[in-house]
Structure 1
Amino acid sequence: MEFAAGRAGHLHRSACLLTSGDTHLAEDLVQETLSRMYALWGRMSRIDNPAAYAQTVLVRTFLTQRRRYSASERPLAELPDGPALHDGNDPALRLALLQALRELPPKDRAVVVLRYWEDRSVEETAHALNVSSAAVRSRSSRALAKLRERLGGSLAELRTPA
């Protein structure tokens, strides 16, 4: 399927951010998302933007899984393998950001990923998460404050000069 091949990489990058770098869970999320998209493919003519819809399915699948697993699964240690570094980003900065994202509640993490990684508007994010625009703005503000608090001055220390 051409759509799956074209969107899989982007979906995987978003899923990695949602899962705070857990590449295995990210792969599962992408697979589940693409499976759901395949099941809907015959009705896709009614969807204006299939790529944006796939991102919405990805985020909703992530939130559903987080609710399901939150009562029974707990991470035991740090991730066994770090994120892949293909684009020359600083590993320490990337790990610090992923750790800070990991500490956010799932819904706050989803808002940050949609608003600042996917560059969606408040209204688009609200629609994707099935919440009000006010909820997105307050979650966004709260999540960014938590990220600033966790990263503090360490973000400037980790950044490599250009």
Structure 2
Amino acid sequence: MAHGEVLEFEEYVRTRQDALLRSARRLVPDPVDAQDLLQTALVRTYGRWDGIADKRLADAYLRRVMINTRTEWWRARKLEEVPTEQLPDASVEDSTEQHADRALLMDIMKVLAPKQRSVVVLRHWEQMSTEETAAALGMSAGTVKSTLHRALARLRQELESRDREELVARALEREERERCAA
């Protein structure tokens, strides 16, 4: 790569790194994994920087590399579940409602398949149009729409399921308190 292109890439990373890291954080819930994802995508993009003719599309290219990388990681993961009788208490890092909502959303996003998660992230967090999302993911606009529809339905179903579980748990707690008070 020519010296001028190296400087151009460095400038691009310097100006766009915060936005790109936010995108990575939306693709993977762990902040350290998000940084690793972005770094991996930047390394892969650096090797192909001179091949990106229209640098205005660099964000889309890099997001696509992040999505592909995340998908590779997801496919290569080893599922090591440890059965336990007692589930650990869920913890919320911050007591504010906004942080709790964000944590819940990031948690329920885990139920989505990688393709569905990518579509939701690009359409709703990155606020890309259907056509931009289709181009970034290499699929048709119709596929984006149907994938988004199914993903949002799955998220709604998961939220409703968790709401029902919470209502049942509260009712059981109330019954237990009333029984102990009697």
Q: TM-score, normalised by structure 2?
A: 0.69
Out of 85, 100, 111, which is 1:92 matched to? Answer: 100
Instruction: Give unmatched runs, 5+ long, in structure 2.
Output: 1-9, 164-182
SS at match of 2:112: coil
Q: What corresponds to 2:114 in structure 1?
A: 106
Among all aligned residue pairs of Structure 1 and Structure 2, give the percentage whose two residues are the same amino acid: 36
Shift of 1:68: 2.5
Aligned residues: 146
Deviations 1:41-80 (CA, angstroms, capped at 9, x unpaired) = 22333454212222222122212222222xx2447798xx
Q: What corresponds to 2:60 in structure 1?
A: 52
Q: What corresponds to 2:37 in structure 1?
A: 29
Out of 147, 150, 153, which is 1:145 matched to? Answer: 153
Q: What corresponds to 1:65 in structure 2?
A: 73
CA distance in 2, matches of 1:89, 1:7: 29
Give the 4+ runs in structure 1 shifted more than 4 A.
Answer: 74-78
Query: Is the alpha carbon distance of 1:125 and 1:75 closer, same or farther for their aligned partners in structure 2, counting shifts above 3 Å?
Result: farther
Matching of residue 8 in structure 1 with residue 17 in structure 2 = yes
Query: Is the alpha carbon distance of 1:6 and 1:82 closer, same or farther for their aligned partners in structure 2, counting shifts above 3 Å?
Result: farther
Q: TM-score, normalised by structure 1?
A: 0.77
SS at match of 1:120: coil
Are 1:101 and 1:147, in contact at CA under 8 Å, matched by a contact in 2?
Answer: yes
